[in-house]
A = this chain, B = another copy of it.
Amino acid sequence: MPSQKQIARELGVSVATVSNALTGKGRVSRDVVDLVTARAAQLGYTPSAAGRALKTGRSGILGLVMPDITHPVFPDFAQGLEIEADARGYGILIANGRGTEAGQDNAIKQLIKRGVDGIIMIPRRGTRPQVPPVPMATISIASDPRFAVAANHRQGGRLAAQAILQLGHRSVLLLGDDSQSPVQIDRIEGMAEALEGQAEFQVQWTGDCFPDLADLHATGVTAVLTVSDLLALRVVTEASQSGLRCPDDLSVIGFDNLPLSTAVRPTLSTIVPDTAELAKRAIAYLDAAIRDDQDPPAPSVVDMTLRLRDSTGPAPQTATQHRRTSP
């Protein structure tokens, strides 16, 4: 591996001059700069990450802690983070919380050992990760004493509900699968908020058992708002098995815009989180904190957007009538 020392020796100058020439600091004549850069390029010189990190105290690496890499939402996040980090000259080291709080804290410890400059944390729900000795950005739901950026799950819920209202639906099922998840609770609350006074609705959690869609449809339900695309997929296919057509008999909306949402027929309408923007803000904060800026960006919330596809349609006339006559 070529080093500054080697370049210096070959050119008969000092290492300091080489360093100055390459970094643009200090005072070096135009000629020498050209000579050095030329030789560096010719030798394929790459500054040693270790050497630089040792001297500057910064590794240029950020750690990413996720509760479960396997969850289909995370690839999108990871991608956005990698792009943003790269744009600012950082690399991303992944760590696995392994689903437990202990694993999560251990992951932080591992990252610190490896000398990361900052940590991006997607905390396991209900945990308070230990405070690391480096800046940390939390991507989560609840506002945090430390910096946090979050998707506006409640607003996303409202968006889904408003779409369904606009299509004329007046009896809606709100469906979650984990009544303990703050994210899901926020999404459902947003839906309920927008539906309040505009339509009948009921909330169900599949934790115990999956609702009987045929029954519900018989009582007038024409739309199901779910907290995730996986759940929406379940609804669409379960409905199909019960002889219900989607969106003719039942409109469905999911969350997160997973790849599957365009692979299933009908394609799934979904509420899509702006992962790119979330990543951008998290990295921007970390970068500012690491560089010790006076005013790093403040914690913030990012709105979600609606993508209508084939799983939603106007409320069926018959069902609407049924609802009107049933009470």
| Residue numbers in B under 8 Å from A230 (CB-CB) | 259-260, 263
| Residue numbers in B under 8 Å from A96 (CB-CB) | 79, 82-83, 86
Bound-state CA distance A114–B48 (Å) is 8
| Minimal Cβ-Cβ distance residue in B for A78 | B69
Bound-state CA distance A112–B83 (Å) is 18
A54–B48 touching, CB < 8 Å: yes
Bound-state CA distance A71–B263 (Å) is 13
Bound-state CA distance A298–B263 (Å) is 38
A264–B46 touching, CB < 8 Å: no
**Nearest CB in chain B: distance from A105 CB, A:** 14
A237–B234 touching, CB < 8 Å: no
A238 within 8 A of B: yes
| Residue numbers in B under 8 Å from A260 (CB-CB) | 72, 230, 233, 258, 260
Of residues 49 to 93 in A, which have CB atoms within 8 Å of B's CB atoms?
49-51, 53-54, 59-61, 69-72, 74-76, 78-79, 82-83, 86, 91-93
Of residues 205 to 240 in A, which have CB atoms within 8 Å of B's CB atoms?
230-231, 233-234, 236-238, 240
- A263 touches which of B91, B95, B115, B233 (Cβ 8 Å): B233
A94 within 8 A of B: yes
A265 within 8 A of B: yes
Contact flag A114-B94 (CB < 8 Å), given A53-B50, A233-B264: no
A198 within 8 A of B: no
**Contact flags A113-154 to B (C-beta < 8 A → 1, else 0):** 111000000000000000001000000000000000000000
Q: How many copies of this chain does the complex contain? A: 2
A241 within 8 A of B: yes
A20 within 8 A of B: no
**Nearest CB in chain B: distance from A43 CB, A:** 13
Of residues 249 to 285 in A, which have CB atoms within 8 Å of B's CB atoms?
258-260, 263-266
Bound-state CA distance A111–B60 (Å) is 12
| Residue numbers in B under 8 Å from A48 (CB-CB) | 54, 115
Contact flag A46-B79 (CB < 8 Å), given A92-B93, A259-B70: no
Contact flag A113-B69 (CB < 8 Å), given A54-B54, A93-B92, A237-B240: no
B95–A82 touching, CB < 8 Å: yes
Contact flag A236-B237 (CB < 8 Å), given A60-B114, A78-B94: yes
A110 within 8 A of B: yes
Bound-state CA distance A92–B116 (Å) is 12
The 8 A-B residue pairs whose C-beta atoms are closest, nearest first, are: A49-B115, A50-B53, A50-B54, A237-B265, A230-B263, A69-B79, A260-B260, A240-B240
Q: List 17 A-B contacts (CB under 8 A).
A: A46-B112, A48-B54, A49-B53, A49-B114, A50-B54, A78-B94, A86-B110, A91-B95, A91-B114, A93-B94, A94-B94, A231-B263, A233-B263, A237-B237, A240-B241, A241-B266, A258-B260
